[in-house]
Amino acid sequence: MSLRINDTAPDFTAETTQGTINFHDWIGDGWAVLFSHPKNFTPVCTTELGAMAGLEDEFRKRNVKIIGISVDPVESHQKWQDDIKVATGHVVKYPLIGDRDLKVAKLYGMLPAGAGDTSEGRTPADNATVRSVFVIGPDKKIKLILSYPMTTGRNFDEILRTIDSIQLTAKHQVATPANWKQGEDVIITAAVSNEDAARRFGAYETVLPYLRTTKQPTA
């Protein structure tokens, strides 16, 4: 059964470049991004892990931990980190899961169920579905699911943008419009009456009877 938004993120125990972790315990009371890549020592993946390393402080500001995963062994992750630094200038400090038995990849629907039971002999093409992103909240619920094709590197600034939206809208009865960025106007949800909107947000604009916008709440 495939995972959906608001499902509880499956828990697991796995070996990482920073030792053995239990996923839910590792998340703690904050947020987490679990992101996968097809294979170590490949070009797109090298740029992606470096880009994520360069943004780690931005994720930390949002109380978000990041963790990577592929079906490569932990020892391979550790050797690859030197190449990532050379190519991108960034040092990977976040943990990388070595999922040699494909347990986590299958648990999260990153690979077909019939993908076998080991990473031995697998190629990037075999792992074409393993370029996934899961954003998980403090309640251990899945808040966002993204999957990308083999040839398309991810935009991790977009993932930060969605986290800003998810965290904001979890706190206030608002939604964010297309292409919204931090600090821009937001949409008041239909659950809020006009009277309540005026009390909560002060001034707001009625663009359409069902579309009301206001300044981003700051409290």
Helix, strand or coil, per DSSP, at residue 157: helix
Helix (H) or strand (E) run with residue 69 in it = strand 64-70
End-to-end Cα, the chain, rounded Å? 39
74-88 and 43-54 are packed helices; what angle lies between their axes, rounded to 10 degrees? 80
Q: Do the beta carbons of residue 51 and residue 87 sit within 8 Å? A: no
* Both structure tokens of 75: 């020892």
Catalytic residue of the set 9, 14, 33, 45 = 45
Residue 45 is among the residues annotated as catalytic for this protein: yes
Q: Which residue has the tokens 């030197």?
A: 82
Catalytic residues: 45
